[in-house]
Structure 1
């Protein structure tokens, strides 16, 4: 299949039309098809259509794995090549989609210069700013997700570096840009929360082991984690069972930044009625060891669930019973402590949250 896809990319290396979309990497999304030597000046890309399938503007560099910037080795997460966006530089690609559908974009990025680097990502009329001050992985790379609702049949994905540094080449490295259609689940009689198992979410790269960050300050109308909001200063990490220990089914969320890493959802409730909020707390089997606590909130009620992690997987169930005081109840989860992985003491990690259920109880419980 990869050989067929590669041939199709070669055939379309000079065309710039929108291709029909399927979940996975965008055409030449990993930038393995590079510019011709005549379109390069050192590492700088010359001309807006030099990189197959992409249109570029501003100072763009085509970076090979192992390339050095001074004494720093530039690491490419997938394959052999990536692009670096200099001051006010951008890359964009047109994609055919279904109007009205929700989509999530996943891409990997690395900071190479200033601490305050950030990225603008947009699909008109939606746009967002992804801060890159915090590095969550010790390997120098993080994968990010961002979502939107398609207003047109053909959309244009733009990744832009708004920074203005002294060195015009300064800016983040970008690699592995992928796409996934989202199907937002609805509440049901079996769960009053949407997407309580976190099975619906952004594309996770099959050949990476660091998960996908859901950025901070993400609202639920266009969340890459449908139904959930990230109501915090830091991101939460979306993980899968192919690379991590997950309590239930295929996907879960890791609360990687203490109280600065929180997710929330507002559920419809009936005042005076008793409800049970149940969930799983565990660890991702990623050497995240130590005493962890997940705090769960349901309106005015709260519970702290301790979990002693050995970093090798496992989980426990917890239940918070409460009486609703309004017709909408805010459900929120956060991690009490900051934790670092014991194998590198550099990667942020934390407790895993999964299988979140909210159900109404017929009669008030006599004890918790």
Structure 2
């Protein structure tokens, strides 16, 4: 009897310990869309008062459970996935523990919207790694943007925390969070036919099928931990990761849209042989997202550069360009950015820009 009692206590202890541990599969985290909500007894108005009352999540601080269509003054709060989201007040956070594979690369994708302050930001972390994502710039007219953040698992468990470090006078004045997903990334390798890693951008963060605005990859992300493997976001603002379900893609299923002029750049450092000739080819086009007008993509290979104009009608299409150069170093930086800012012709509050795709680098014989 004592043995049975001991086994039962052990099972209960393990169950309690693993209550917030989720087995990982690509896509939404368990209750990542917050559709499973708290009981009424665990709420005071919209404020959640029990830190364990939203299934699969642990809450800290001033967290509200928001229903789509709820009003905040004259503003109607809309939720991108399902009917519910959470709002993080000053110093509030949500946390979920996920089973991962040690040493593997992962990308978190989540959607967020400002509700009050212009300079809202979010701190996202999987200990000991963390990053602060600025939310000053809106890239979609819906008010919601989806962001990606990459990390390497240092153990078999990842404790994901999304935290609002804000210090607003109104403690409820914080960002809305919805649709938290994760994707296992497989670092691409260079091949005999392409010296670029992930030149076709097929390997990258999760993109939600029910959202039409792509996934933003924030700036200043290191190569090794980037949610866009092989590439660094060397700019002040984000680039947009777009898919063929919602946008025109020159090649394959994924591409990059340079949505913030010269403040929106991607780069990769490749091994080269000094004195050897190389050919850098790539596609430039528009994403079929009503981004109309004259566009220019500037490409750099070390000190060599080329400007590629593209006259967009906003209906999809692309052209190819080639930059030939002679390497002067053992490592050459390849970089792309858009010369101009662009706005959607049907929505002057949404940034857009040229698409870059199918980047190929090959060594060639001396012309």
| TM-score, scaled to structure 2 | 0.95
Find the aligned partners of 1:155 and 1:316 in 2 and give their Cα distance.
42
Tell me what 1:35 maps to: 38
Tell me what 1:215 maps to: 218
State yes or no: 1:87 paired with 2:90.
Answer: yes
Find the aligned partners of 2:42 and 2:327 in 1 and give their Cα distance.
64
Tell me what 1:272 maps to: 275
Find the aligned partners of 1:14 and 1:65 in 2 and give their Cα distance.
33
The Cα offsets for residues 249-301 of structure 1, whole Å up to 9 and x where unpaired, read as 10000000000000000000000000000000000001000000000000000
Find the aligned partners of 2:234 and 2:116 in 1 and give their Cα distance.
28
The Cα offsets for residues 128-186 of structure 1, whole Å up to 9 and x where unpaired, read as 01000000101100000001000010110000000110001111000000000000101
State yes or no: 1:320 paired with 2:300.
Answer: no
Runs (5+) with no aligned partner, structure 2: 1-14
State the shift of 1:217 in Å: 1.1
The Cα offsets for residues 4-43 of structure 1, whole Å up to 9 and x where unpaired, read as xxxxxxxx99972412210000000000000000000000
Tell me what 2:366 maps to: 364
Tell me what 1:44 maps to: 47
Query: Given that residues 121 and 160 in structure 1 are in contact (C-alpha distance below 8 angstroms), is that contact kept between their aligned partners in structure 2?
Result: yes
The Cα offsets for residues 83-104 of structure 1, whole Å up to 9 and x where unpaired, read as 0000000000000000000000
State the shift of 1:219 in Å: 1.4
Tell me what 2:296 maps to: 293
Find the aligned partners of 1:218 and 1:162 in 2 and give their Cα distance.
20
Find the aligned partners of 1:315 and 1:188 in 2 and give their Cα distance.
25
Query: Given that residues 77 and 175 in structure 1 are in contact (C-alpha distance below 8 angstroms), is that contact kept between their aligned partners in structure 2?
Result: yes
Find the aligned partners of 1:33 and 1:332 in 2 and give their Cα distance.
44
State the shift of 1:216 in Å: 1.1
Tell me what 2:207 maps to: 204
Which of 104, 111, 114 pairs up with 1:101?
Answer: 104
Query: Given that residues 257 and 353 in structure 2 are in contact (C-alpha distance below 8 angstroms), is that contact kept between their aligned partners in structure 1?
Result: yes
1:141-180 matched pairs, under 5 angstroms: 141-180=144-183
1:207-356 matched pairs, under 5 angstroms: 207-356=210-359
Higher gyration radius (CA)? 2
Find the aligned partners of 2:205 and 2:185 in 1 and give their Cα distance.
8
Find the aligned partners of 2:144 and 2:263 in 1 and give their Cα distance.
20
Which of 183, 187, 210 pairs up with 1:184?
Answer: 187
Find the aligned partners of 1:65 and 1:19 in 2 and give their Cα distance.
26
Which of 127, 138, 143 pairs up with 1:140?
Answer: 143
Runs (5+) with no aligned partner, structure 1: 1-11
1:259 is paired with a residue whose SS is helix
Find the aligned partners of 1:86 and 1:298 in 2 and give their Cα distance.
45
Find the aligned partners of 1:32 and 1:15 in 2 and give their Cα distance.
21
Query: Given that residues 146 and 214 in structure 1 are in contact (C-alpha distance below 8 angstroms), is that contact kept between their aligned partners in structure 2?
Result: yes
Find the aligned partners of 2:212 and 2:172 in 1 and give their Cα distance.
29
| TM-score, scaled to structure 1 | 0.95
Query: Given that residues 20 and 58 in structure 2 are in contact (C-alpha distance below 8 angstroms), is that contact kept between their aligned partners in structure 1?
Result: no
